[in-house]
Amino acid sequence: MDILGYDFMTNALLGALFAAITAGLAGTYIVSRRMVFLGGGITHASFGGIGIGYFFGFNPIVGASLFGVASALCVEYLSVRQKIREDSAIGILWALGMATGIIFIYLTPGYAPDLMGYLFGSLLTISTGDIVALGVLSLVLISYFTVFYRTLMYISYDETYARTYSSSVSIFKYITTALVALAVVLNIRMAGIILVLSLLTIPPNIAMIFTSSYLKIIIGSIIVGFAGTVTGLVISYFINIPTGATIVFVLALIWIISKLLRGWVEKRW
């Protein structure tokens, strides 16, 4: 059976492409800056926005986006201006977001039918609106990283040196953190709150096994992310198992194989 003949599968493939681009760019930044925990914090804090969206009757992803961006910017502000340790600020906002979401969902009359989709994700059920949002964010991230490539690379690896290269490092950090937050939130529909962080962290780590070039890590992350997502999508379709979990499992398997392959090559040569 030609699975591409289904509209939902075409949407899923487009979603996989845009998810790979957004997660590859945002993921390379947070992994290189060693701030993966921030991604987890944004993911769980955004649950507060989902709960607020359900309670007031608007799109939960809009609420999650606002809540996620606000939380990410708060972490940057608190860690820089208020001298609060970044991990502490993330932990506080992480807990606050989850608590807020639980309270508002509990207060919402009736049953939240899509809640499991936000928690665990399903690439097969993404809407045209989700694809458009991811497509727009992909274009924004590609343009942003292309124009400010060197500055972002320096910030990722050595913030002190970056300040000698540009006087606007703080502004770039705030903007990039906000874009990372949007990438995290918009990919929630792919893998869910529980697993979305894997989409941002596993592909860059796979690419880093084979290269140390920032540009090659980005490109490798996008390629690996797309290949792993499509593979997981096809497997989940035929075996009838959760899409998000299957994608993460495939990516983790690629990472293990890559580590073993790199170790074998180094020993052999």
- Tens digit of pLDDT for each residue in 87-143? 788 888 889 999 999 999 889 887 766 777 788 777 777 888 889 999 999 999 999
Please report whether residue 258 resides in a domain: no
Q: Does 253 reside within a domain?
A: no
Label residue 17 by pLDDT band (50, 70, 90): very high
Q: What is the pLDDT of residue 147?
A: 95
Tokens describing residue 186 = 């918009």
> pTM for the complete prediction?
0.90
Please indicate, yes or no, if residue 238 is contained in any of the structural domains: no
CA nearest neighbour of 257 among 199, 190, 210: 210
On whether residue 206 sits in a domain, the answer given is no
* Residue 74 within any structural domain of the chain: yes
Choose from 40-49, 76-85, 138-147, 230-239 the range with maximum mean pLDDT: 138-147
Q: Residue 15 sits in which domain range? A: 3-196
| Residue 144: inside a domain | yes
pLDDT digits 0-9 by tens, 163-191: 888 778 889 999 999 999 999 999 988 78
Q: Over 60: is that where the pLDDT of 83 sits?
A: yes
CATH classification at residue 188: 1.10.3470.10
Is the model's pLDDT at 1 over the cut of 60? no
> How many domains would you assign to the chain?
1
Tokens encoding 109: 């009359």
Quick check: is 34 in a domain?
Answer: yes
Q: Give the integer Cα–Cα distance in Å for 243 and 237.
A: 8
| Domain contains 24 | yes
Q: Which two tokens stand for residue 99?
A: 């608590």
Task: Report the alpha-carbon distance of residue 53 to residue 152 in Å, rounded.
Answer: 33
